[in-house]
Structure 1
Amino acid sequence: MINVYVFRKQNAITAFELSGHAESGPYGHDLVCAAVSAVSFGAVNAVSELCQIDLDIDQGEEGGYLRVALPSHLEQSTKEKAMLLLEGMVVSLETIERDYGEFIKIHYK
């Protein structure tokens, strides 16, 4: 099971954390894991590149763990761009959860 934790402060995403493995298929053919990885890493790369933000990233060496936090002080326009990208990630993860809820669970804190 992949657990996704989305951390918010004043309705803005401050961080997110993914942990676990979907185990929805054999290694290398796990579509849920591939989808979650693509969505989350795509969002991280987009925020980093398009918003020019140095994110705080903690990643497990053998997969199964990713934690990303935004810096606490961002210009308002940069924060708004980052929020839009991260909210898009959450919508995509919610879609995966809706269709494959036995393999992924999203928690909001």
Structure 2
Amino acid sequence: MIEITVTRNKSEMIQSFAISGHAFFAERGNDIVCAGVSAVSVGAINAVHSLTGVTPEIEQESGLLRCIIPEHLPDHTQEKVQLLLEGMVVSLQTIEEQYGQHIKITFKK
């Protein structure tokens, strides 16, 4: 199962997210759940960097992706970053609705 943890601060802004595990929906190379989660999460990170100039701290290894947003961003930049990350969360929740036995999203503060 893919486990996703989205960590929010006291203001409900996304500080970080971590994605670990494997969906085991299908064989490697044909797993649409893994492919969808990877495309959405990596796409969000790339969008944050490309559209806001913010470079998140990234840790990536087999079966793990961790992304930490820098603290103390200017308000207008933080708003853009948050919009992109909230879009990612909506997309991941859509995948979870359809393939819930293969993906679980948890929110923590």
- Asked if Structure 1 and Structure 2 have the same fold, meaning a TM-score greater than 0.5 normalized by the shorter chain, the answer is yes
Shorter-normalised TM range = over 0.9
Task: Report deviation, 1:23.
Answer: 0.7
> Which residue of the partner structure matches residue 78 of structure 1?
77
Aligned residue pair count: 107
Show the 5 A alignment for 1:36-55: 36-55=37-56
1:7 aligned counterpart, secondary structure: strand
Amino acid in structure 2 at the alignment position of 1:12: M
Equivalent-residue separation in structure 2 for 1:30 and 1:103 (angstroms): 11
> Which residue of the partner structure matches residue 56 of structure 1?
57
> Which residue of the partner structure matches residue 35 of structure 1?
36
TM-score, normalization by structure 1: 0.97
> Which residue of the partner structure matches residue 3 of structure 2?
3
Equivalent-residue separation in structure 1 for 2:65 and 2:50 (angstroms): 18
What is the aligned-residue RMSD (CA, Å)?
Answer: 0.5
Equivalent-residue separation in structure 2 for 1:22 and 1:4 (angstroms): 11
Task: List alignment gaps of at least 5 residues for structure 2.
Answer: none
Task: Report deviation, 1:51.
Answer: 0.6
> Which residue of the partner structure matches residue 87 of structure 1?
86
TM-score, normalization by structure 2: 0.97
